[in-house]
Amino acid sequence: MTGLRRSLTIARNDFALFMQEPIAVIVLVVMPLLVMPFGKPIYESALQQDSYPLANGAEQVVPGMALMFVFFMVTFAGLAFFREHIWFTWDRIRCLPVKPWEIMFGKSALPFVLICVQQLLLFTIGGFIFDLHIRGSLGALMVVDLSFALWLVAFILATVAWCTTFQQVLAVSNLGAIVFASVGGAITPISSLPSWADAVSPASPSYWAMRGFNSVLLDGQALHAVLLPVGVLLGSGLVFLILAAVRFRFDEPKGGVLPGL
């Protein structure tokens, strides 16, 4: 059995577990769809005042809410790691001829797929309901979103590597979702952020993702216009991947109180 097949076996097992109770992830699709109509009118006027007279607010509310809520996937993915320790299955897997990278790759696969599916559903359903016009390249939009998904998976791995209890993961997830979305322009349009935020916004992945989305959705740009945001997202994702690789200890006990276990 090849390493990739072992990773797929682990990913399929995680999928089977996910299907036992998919509600937590379904909420990450439903919640932003419920929030979007409340923000759209505000964003519409804000964007129109900001030299986008044809904007209807969907250009901000759909990607903004998608970016904010997808961050809660850190909790779901963290749980998928930590529960293995609580269930004593982590050591069982480690006793088998499975390499550490195969475990990590397998455990990352489902969160990555779910992030992509969540984004796809929100852009599709949200776009349809709220009349989102993609003025630029659809390919460029997908490249930005895919880059953010890869960044988020790397961030998840780093979070799991550095946290020793699930409560720490939960704190990172909640704090990250709100802070990154706030300073990154996912909640408020980048152009409307306070001046002090100029210095900190670039530290947020949401800022670069929103810059990429704005280039496509508001400015009607193509792939070349999103190369910088994509490069920053992939570059910082690589940093988190390295941080995860440096810190991860397969024999480190992990625990904390896990919900529903």
According to CB under 8 A, which residues from 13 to 52 bind other proteins? 13, 16-17, 20-21
Shortest distance, position 6 Cβ to other proteins, whole Å: 6
Any idea what DSSP says for residue 179? Answer: H
- Token readout for 51 is 């030299």
Report the residue from 27, 31, 35, 98 that binds other proteins according to the rule CB under 8 A.
98
Least distance between other proteins and beta carbon 97 (Å): 4
Q: Which residues have C-beta within 8 Å of that of residue 155, sequence separation ≥ 6?
A: 74, 176, 205, 237, 240
249 binds other proteins (CB under 8 A): no
Shortest spacing between CB 259 and other proteins, in angstroms: 14
Q: Which of 23, 53, 97, 195 binds other proteins (CB under 8 A)?
A: 97
Under a CB-based contact definition with an 8 Å cutoff, are residues 136 and 149 in contact?
no
Residue 237: HSE in the Cβ half-sphere, 13 Å Cα cutoff: 19
Question: Which of residues 51, 53, 88, 199 is near other proteins by CB under 8 A?
Answer: 88
Size of the site for other proteins (CB under 8 A): 23
Report the alpha-carbon distance of residue 229 to residue 204 in Å, rounded. Answer: 11
Give the SS3 label for residue 55: coil
**Stretch of 96-104, 138-146, 172-180, 213-221 contacting other proteins, by CB under 8 A:** 96-104
Minimum distance from residue 106 beta carbon to other proteins (Å): 10
By beta-carbon proximity to other proteins, the closer residue of 85 and 211 is 85
188: phi then psi, degrees, rounded to nearest 5? -115, 140
Minimum separation from the CB atom of position 39 to other proteins (A) = 37
* d(C-alpha 169, C-alpha 188), whole Å: 26
The Cα–Cα gap between 236 and 205 comes to: 8
Q: Which of 106, 126, 109, 107 is nearest to 118 (CA)?
A: 126
Min dist CB 76 to other proteins, Å, is: 15
99 binds other proteins (CB under 8 A): yes
Q: What is the token pair recorded at 227?
A: 């190369």
| 92 is a contact residue toward other proteins (CB under 8 A) | yes
Q: Is the dihedral of CA 83, 85, 88, 92 positive or negative?
A: positive
87 forms part of the interface with other proteins (CB under 8 A): yes
Determine, following the binding rule CB under 8 A, whether residue 253 of this chain makes contact with other proteins.
no
The binding site for other proteins (CB under 8 A) comprises: 1, 6, 9-10, 13, 16-17, 20-21, 87-99, 251
